[in-house]
Amino acid sequence: MGTLDQAVETQLKNIEAKTGKNRQELTAILLASGLTRHSELREYGMSQLGLGHGDANALVHFALKSDGSRDAESRGLSEDAVLDEIYSGPKASLRPIHEQLMAVILTYGEFEQLPKKGYVSLRRKKQFAMIGPATNTRVEVGLNIKSLPENERLIAQPAGSMCNYKVKLSSTTEIDDNLFDWLKQAFESAG
């Protein structure tokens, strides 16, 4: 079991101790609420079970099997297989960009990787980045950080978007120290 998996397991045990209910009972309570959106279920866990934001968030991920590992597991896929789906067909040539980015991001500390349909969300207490193919020839890195110095590579996103900035990459040669600095700042601000 990896360090992040151990941390999640410890957090779930603490939630059970705080509430006096096991995971299955807590899952049943959340699902019986009739709510379906993650944010609504998280708020429900906070108001009805007395959980803090982080614990309620972890419980909802557990209940919905929505973190990357459990989603892949529920579909019988390894995390590598999920990446194979994202970077398939004409997008397969973009996977080295993803792998080069992740090799450095993994050195920053603990976080979770949540594979979605067409990208991977990187989260600590909140999402700090998204990486995925935007087209057959380009990967986009979404950054969640309030303000970064102006740079022609940083594309500011409208308020309410999933990310504050995007950076477009067509090859591994476009990966540089500036991008890693921005990623590190986003990582640190999410924790």
Q: Are residues 178 and 89 in the same domain?
A: yes
124-171 pLDDT per residue, tens: 988 899 999 999 999 999 999 988 999 999 999 987 777 899 999 999
The domain in which residue 48 lies consists of 3-64
Does 55 lie in the same domain as 90?
A: no
Phi, psi at 107, each rounded to 5°: -80, -10
In a domain, 106, yes or no: yes
Residue 70 counted as domain residue: no
Residue type, 124: R
Alpha helices in the chain (DSSP H): 3-19, 23-32, 38-49, 53-64, 68-74, 79-86, 95-105, 177-189
Nearby residues of 89 by Cβ (< 8 Å), 6 or more positions away: 136
Domain count, the chain: 2
pLDDT at 177: 95
* Distance in angstroms between the alpha carbons of the first and the last residue of the chain: 22
For the CA atoms of the chain, what is the radius of gyration?
18
What does the pLDDT read at residue 178?
A: 95
Give one word for 45, left, alpha or beta, with left for phi > 0 and alpha for psi -120 to 50. Answer: alpha
Res 7: pLDDT: 61
Mark whether 130 and 184 lie in a shared domain. yes
Residue 69 belongs to a domain: no
- The predicted structure's pLDDT at residue 108: 95
- In the sheet that holds 120-123, the strands lie side by side as 112-115, 120-123, 127-135, 138-143, 165-169, 155-156
Checking DSSP bridges between strand 120-123 and strand 155-156, what pairing results, if any? unpaired
CATH number reported for the structural domain that contains residue 129 in this entry = 3.30.1460
Q: Which of 59, 61, 88 is nearest to 73 (CA)?
A: 61
129 and 166 assigned to the same domain: yes
Give, for all 191 residues of the chain, the pLDDT tens digit: 444 456 678 888 999 999 999 999 999 999 999 988 888 898 999 999 999 877 887 898 888 877 555 555 556 666 677 788 899 999 999 999 999 999 999 999 998 887 877 889 898 988 899 999 999 999 999 999 988 999 999 999 987 777 899 999 999 999 999 999 999 999 999 98
**Same domain flag for 96 and 167:** yes
Q: What is the pTM of this model?
A: 0.63
140: phi then psi, degrees, rounded to nearest 5? -115, 135
